[in-house]
Amino acid sequence: MANSVDIKYYLILAAVLFCLGMFGVLVRRNALVVFMCVELMLNAANLTFLAFAKQHGNVTGHVSAFFVIAVAAAEASIGLAIVIAVFRSRGTVNIEDIRTMKH
């Protein structure tokens, strides 16, 4: 398949996306942005699944990607619900201020 793009470009893109997501998770203070960065990491994972699936001609990767999307959707809905609940009770979504577990 000469016209196809070499798999290593997909993987490099996925690694870049993952690192961006991880960087965002580590440094951002807004809980919503952190969530978005987590989604970014999940999507980097999905991209590698699909790249390998295409290379091997195997649909298992696609199925895995669908599972990840489904789980990510569920996680996002629960996470957003938590963030909204926290915002209601505290008036902030800054994760540096949400530290009740420490005490």
Please answer whether residues 24 and 39 qualify as being in contact, where contact means their C-beta atoms are separated by less than 8 angstroms.
no
Nearer CB in complex with other proteins: 12/27: 27
Q: Which 17-76 residues touch other proteins, going by CB under 8 A? A: 22, 25-27
Using CB under 8 A as the binding rule, the residues of this chain from 84 to 103 that contact other proteins are: 95-96, 99, 101-103
Q: Which is nearer to other proteins, 32 or 95 (CB)?
A: 95
b/e map of 67-92 (b: 16 or more CB within 10 Å)? Answer: eeeeebeeeeeebeeebeebeeeeee
Q: How far is the CB of 83 from other proteins (least distance, A)?
A: 13
* Structure token digits, residue 58: 């195997």
Biggest CA pair distance of the chain? 60
Give whichever of 38 and 51 is closer to other proteins, judged by the CB atom: 38
Task: Report the C-alpha gap between 20 and 27 in whole angstroms.
Answer: 11
Please identify, using beta-carbon distances, which residue of 7 and 62 lies nearer to other proteins: 7
Contact residues: other proteins, CB under 8 A: 22, 25-27, 95-96, 99, 101-103
